[in-house]
Chain A
Amino acid sequence: MVVSYAKRAALILLAAFGSGACTGTVSGPRGGTSTGPSPSAGTTGASGGGTGAVSTTGGTGGSGSATGPSDLLGLPDGAEPLARLHKLTISELTNSLHDLLGTGAPVSAVEPDDVAAGFAAVGASTVAISPSGVGLYEDATGGATTFAFADATHAAAVLPCVPTGATDTACASRALAAFGRRAWRRPLTTAETTRFVNLAVAIAGAQGSSMLAGMRHAAWAILQSPSFLYRVELGAPSAADGGRLKYNDFEMASRLAGALWGSVPDDPLLDAAAAGKLSAAADVRAQATRMLADPRAHRALAAFVDDLYGRRELDEATKDMTMFPAWTTTLRDAMTEELERRIDDLVLTQKGDYLSLYESRATFVNNELAKYYGLPTQPIDSWRAATLPADSPRVGLLGAGAILAAYALPQRTSPTARGKFVNLALLCRTIPDPPPGVPPLPATSDASQTLRQKLEMHRAAASCASCHALMDPIGFGMETFDTAGQYRTQDNGHPIDATGMLGTSSFNGLAQLSSAIRAQPVAGPCLASKVYTFALGRAPTEHDAPALDALATSFSKNGNKVDALLTDLVSSDAFRFVTPDK
């Protein structure tokens, strides 16, 4: 009835959710000193529930190893390092496969990104790949390698040499070592290279097979390995730095490529690592400058923009087609691209003041979007720079269709959702979840009121007022744009009142609201902290306060330029050393 079957993996019987592992407290700071994991700002619960049972003396739950993580990483008294495996996000996986195998390589669907603290890059630091997800990676990397190894010509674009046959192990070894170094972001050991060469030769030896097929399977194995699917950045004690845990040169190459390119390193970056040229801050700065001038930087910036400004929300947004017939998926996608292009131009081409985005009239459009915005169309459609007229009510980041439509409902706007977005994304405020037992919006006669009037009644309830007071008044400033992002002057047949207050600044309408946001002292530091969160792949903790303060100061001093911010960030201790390191 059953067949005996040998498999090493079967011996690794898994205690992924072992009994003792989940009994720690869930959230909140721990009492005492360094007896538990560092709370990760309550954002992901990454190390909260799972590690409470780990002690300096006990094992680590199933590994049977005598060495606990604290010993391994040189951490004091049971302190648990923040997670060190950064699972590639979907955009990072796609970029990496394209850089390794060619931009034509197809990348089939894998498990969705896990978003934490607003960023897929943060969720990627804690989430595991599910058993069925492993199969999706097999499919995705299988399809991509099939494309890249379709014939010797294709393979020659991927590998430094293409073996002529199964006996050409010298070339196979050189090719797989080079490919593996980029994919794993570090040199392979001799044993690892040999393993992949042997795999290629074994598969080449089967009837009807070939060395090209063998090489393709070896590349497939490299790309299915956790060493590719996760960025592995462990750090090691640095004697020159008082024993602090420092990322080694190859780990720095991995981090830089992740943060600045959303991808794997290139050979110059890995060569710099091999030469020990990613240890000093000045060397890192030089590489960062080079990398930001490379086209690959656009992709990482786009991933940042997509997460910060809500591409997921926009992609999920539906609009009532009878009320908003001009709303199409192509228009929606054009709105996403508009925002990416605007910010890309500002950061990487103009190298301008990032906060000018909030009030700028400079944008990019194609014909569908131009028509939607009331700008001239072109005989031949293409993306081009455009300027919104000086008297246009549409202005700045908040006037972008992508923002207006993402934080709104199918049939009506949501001042609450729009205000919440401004609070979270632009002002770095936190908004508590609604309390349980929230009373419903009062059943009013629907035609008699604007949405603002209904929400103001809602806010009359004390339990709702405290949070809605943070959100709704900001959202009211955007009420002159409907849920599909079009300008309007009336809601439900009544004139719109778009006045409000932000801090001590009063405003009337979106343009004044935008200026008020830009003028908030927190605007610059907030953006800096978002970039920091994205680049480090984790939500800041109290350990990060000094680094964040320093970056905010230099960001302001540099005229709010994000390219300079990135260079400062990746060459700072916060990026080069493990946190917490003591």
Chain B
Amino acid sequence: MARPSRTFLKRRTFLRGVIAGGASVAVPLPRLASMLNDSGTAYADGKALPVRFGTWFFGNGIIPERWVPSSTGQGAAWTLSEQLAPLLAVKPWLNVVTGCTIKVPNNSPHASMPCAALTGAQTSGGGVTLPSVDQLVAKVNGTGAIFPTGLHVGISNTSGATALGLAISYAGPNAPNPPNYSPAGLFKNLVQFAATAGTPKPPDPELLNRKLVLDAVLADANALRARLGADDQQRLDQHLSGLSQLQQQIVAAEMPKATGTITDPDKAYPARGADGAISRQRSQAFADLLVFALASDLTRVFSFMFTCPACHGNYADCGLDATTFHEDYGHRLSPKGVTYATTGFNTGVRYAMSNLADLLGRMKATPDGAGTLLDNSCVYTTSCVSESQTHGGVDFPLLVAGKAGGKLRTDQHLRLLDENVSKVPYTLLTAMGSNATSFGMAEGQVSTGISGLLA
């Protein structure tokens, strides 16, 4: 401690190389103990810890009569339904909102409705018309994080035929954030920001090389942008955003490390199966990594696509036949009969909720400030249909977990008959600090939220 180590000096030299001239911006850092006040409840300067936001999505809907809790109210007044039972451990953090309806016309089953629930607007040619709520939140709270537009993960990479594509997060039309299906890949991205045991390694000279390479790439991207029409400029802006984030990550990789524990999926979940197949272990591996990233403030936003709208993958992981969950169970077309299919479908929905519970449970178990990560987060959960057999948009599945840093009332079942589904994401958007005066478009547009959700 007496004098700076050689490693420290090398790092300083490195940073001098990376940081050169021009306007200055803040380099994002993981949250470090030294940044917080003595009790660790807020930043040393008194600023509150950021509230995190996530979207958790499962395809193929529910059976409303087995999903909707039998009574409404708060706390002891209501109990979980059959399909929500796996969420028991996080019930005190849960809001179940039922009775809401998709007001956007159902032009395209499995596309119109998830678009409405995620963006408040109709689908456009198989994609979205407006950004998804997580990306609106990222504009409010993401700046300053190492991954400012969020981390986006997925379990099943099997598509849903003509449904909305394989993404539930969109920066805008034609700008999906396709999920990362590989826990090992996400681990590789995150571990560079995690503290490792033993002597700190000297700076990697390749980081500086990568930075120089990206400078040259940015020069080309900027020159090209000036020559393009508006649509293509928007596309290139997405690309520029990615280049700029990569640059920031290169610098951040040489900054002080996050002190939380990162879990290597290859060690903790060696039997998690191939990326893209449905597996609860892979879901748990992602949950561990997301919790690390959220707790360390590497990102404040995430999307978790358990299965995509109308996913045609199979739920063999929970004991169902290795057939198309969407057709054989969702639409009850199993050759083994309708009763068999209905029972299996119910098992599948409960299995999805168990996967959600794995994530929420980990958030609940992670200290954050004066409370837990789940206290300081808001996780919005929805699907692509309500009743899976008929592509229904009535009584749409909507869950909100977490207290959003005290902004949300929890442990409630709110039954809001025929309310516009858009009101839920809009309420959450404003709870996250957005001053948006409305959310969505046309039939999906709302300008008031759900007061019962707010603390």
Q: Do A436 and B129 have beta carbons less than 8 Å apart?
A: no
Q: Do A22 and B239 have beta carbons less than 8 Å apart?
A: no
Q: For the complex, what is the distance from the CA of A12 to the CA of B25, rounded to whole Å?
A: 12
Q: Does B23 contact A (CB under 8 A)?
A: yes
Distance (Å) between the CB of A51 and the closest chain B CB? 6
Q: Do B29 and A1 have beta carbons less than 8 Å apart?
A: yes
- A contact patch SS: loop
Q: For the complex, what is the distance from the CA of A135 to the CA of B225, rounded to whole Å?
A: 20
Asked if A17 meets B231 with Cβ closer than 8 Å, knowing A112-B166, A114-B176, A318-B322, the reply is no
Q: Which of A84, A217, A410 contacts B322 (CB 8 A)?
A: A410
Residues of A within 8 A of B230 (CB): 21, 50-51, 54, 60-61, 63, 68-69, 80
Q: Does B350 contact A (CB under 8 A)?
A: no
Q: For the complex, what is the distance from the CA of A69 to the CA of B236, rounded to whole Å?
A: 15
Q: Do B171 and A16 have beta carbons less than 8 Å apart?
A: yes
In chain B, positions 196-217 with a C-beta closer than 8 Å to chain A are 205, 208-210, 212-217
Q: Which of B126, B208, B226 contacts A116 (CB 8 A)?
A: B126
Q: Does B60 contact A (CB under 8 A)?
A: no
Q: Does A577 contact B (CB under 8 A)?
A: no
Residues of A within 8 A of B2 (CB): none
Q: Which of A65, A128, A446 contacts B174 (CB 8 A)?
A: A128
Q: Which of A83, A202, A213, A412 contacts B232 (CB 8 A)?
A: A83
Residues of A within 8 A of B244 (CB): 7, 9-10, 12
- Which chain B residue shows the least CB distance to A437? B390
Q: Do A138 and B210 have beta carbons less than 8 Å apart?
A: yes
- Which chain A residue shows the least CB distance to B17? A206
In chain A, positions 178-206 with a C-beta closer than 8 Å to chain B are 192, 195-196, 199, 202-203, 206
- What size tier do the contact residues of chain B reach? 35 or more
Total contacts A-B at CB 8 Å = 334
Interface stretch among A40-48, A98-106, A253-261?
A40-48
In chain B, positions 22-76 with a C-beta closer than 8 Å to chain A are 22-27, 29, 35
Q: Does B106 contact A (CB under 8 A)?
A: yes
Interface stretch among B79-87, B284-292, B327-335, B397-405?
B327-335
Q: Does B361 contact A (CB under 8 A)?
A: no
Q: Does A220 contact B (CB under 8 A)?
A: yes
Q: Do A128 and B247 have beta carbons less than 8 Å apart?
A: no
- Which chain A residue shows the least CB distance to B235? A128
Distance (Å) between the CB of A81 and the closest chain B CB? 6
Q: Do A7 and B247 have beta carbons less than 8 Å apart?
A: yes
Q: Which of B21, B126, B159 contacts A312 (CB 8 A)?
A: B159
Q: Do A409 and B22 have beta carbons less than 8 Å apart?
A: no
Q: Does A439 contact B (CB under 8 A)?
A: yes
Residues of A within 8 A of B261 (CB): none
Residues of A within 8 A of B441 (CB): 22-23, 26
Q: Do A134 and B173 have beta carbons less than 8 Å apart?
A: no
Q: Which of B23, B248, B328 contacts A411 (CB 8 A)?
A: B328
Q: Do A232 and B242 have beta carbons less than 8 Å apart?
A: no
Asked if A6 meets B232 with Cβ closer than 8 Å, knowing A312-B159, A320-B323, the reply is no
10 tightest CB-CB pairs across the interface, nearest first?
A: A134-B242, A69-B229, A17-B172, A45-B125, A45-B124, A4-B24, A436-B106, A9-B244, A6-B22, A131-B242
- Listed by A's residue number, 12 A-B pairs whose Cβ atoms lie within 8 Å are A4-B19, A17-B135, A44-B126, A84-B229, A114-B174, A127-B174, A128-B238, A131-B149, A135-B246, A224-B213, A433-B109, A441-B331
